[in-house]
Structures are given as C-alpha cells and as structure tokens.
Amino acid sequence: YILGICNGFQILLESGLLKGAMKHNNNLSFISKNQNLRVVSNDNTFLKNFKKDEIINLPIAHGEGNYYADEATLKELQDKDLITLKYESNPNGSVFDIAGICDENKKIFGLMP
C-alpha cells in the first residue's frame, strides 16, 4: 500500500503510479488554511472507516495543489470510482474539485489536502 500526501501525491502523479498532474494554484499564491473535504468514495483501504459523503476538515498548505487531468482520464476516474475526496469549496482550481484519487487496485492513494 502507498499513501502520498502533498508532495508525495505529486511524486505518485509524476511517476505514473496515479493519473493526472498538479499545476500552480489558480491564484498563483501559496494557500495555508483548514479546508473541508467530502469523502466521495470510501471503497479503499485508506478511507474505509469514513462514511460516503462525510465531511472531514484537514489543513492544506500548498502552492501547486491544482489537480488536472485530461477528459479521458477524468472519465476513467469517474467510471471506475477512483475519485476519493473532493473540496467542498475549491481553494486552488482543481478540476472537478478533486482533492484525492486512488489507483484501480485501491492500494495507492494520493491527496492534496
């Protein structure tokens, strides 16, 4: 099992273990504050103890937290239930408000809180 948080998530994306990429925040500024995230899918090892649609509050601190993927990848993430967390109030411009995703085997999990 692999968990990548913040820069760890970026490494998982850059290595190809997870799909997509990170871009600079839309406001081109570093963001540091608490943020509400919604559990979109708990069908994985890392979020199995949370309820679907549960709101969790996590600190965020990043300048490159804007998750991006092309349309085909986004469709795949949605169709295979690989989007795990979404921002309730998107602070960085992340596509589809995505804050976390996992791989198809549900053993690699990355989040940019």
Q: What is the mean pLDDT of residues 89-98?
A: 96
- Other beta carbons less than 10 A from residue 71's beta carbon: 8
pTM comes to 0.94
The structural domain count of the chain equals: 1
* pLDDT at 113 > cutoff 90: no
DSSP one-letter string for 62-97: ESS-EEE--HHHHHHHHHTT-EEEEESS-SS--GGG
Q: Give the H or E element holding residue 15.
A: helix 7-15
Q: Specify burial of residue 90 (Cβ count, 10 A radius: 0-12, 13-18, 19+).
A: middle
Give the whole-angstrom CA distance, residue 69 versus residue 59.
24
User: What pLDDT score was predicted for residue 39?
Assistant: 98
User: What pLDDT score was predicted for residue 77?
Assistant: 98
Query: The domain that contains 14 carries what CATH number?
Result: 3.40.50.880
User: What pLDDT score was predicted for residue 48?
Assistant: 95
* Tens-place pLDDT, residues 14-32: 999 999 999 999 999 999 9
* Tens-place pLDDT, residues 49-70: 999 999 999 999 999 999 999 9
* Residue range(s) defining the domain that contains residue 26: 2-111
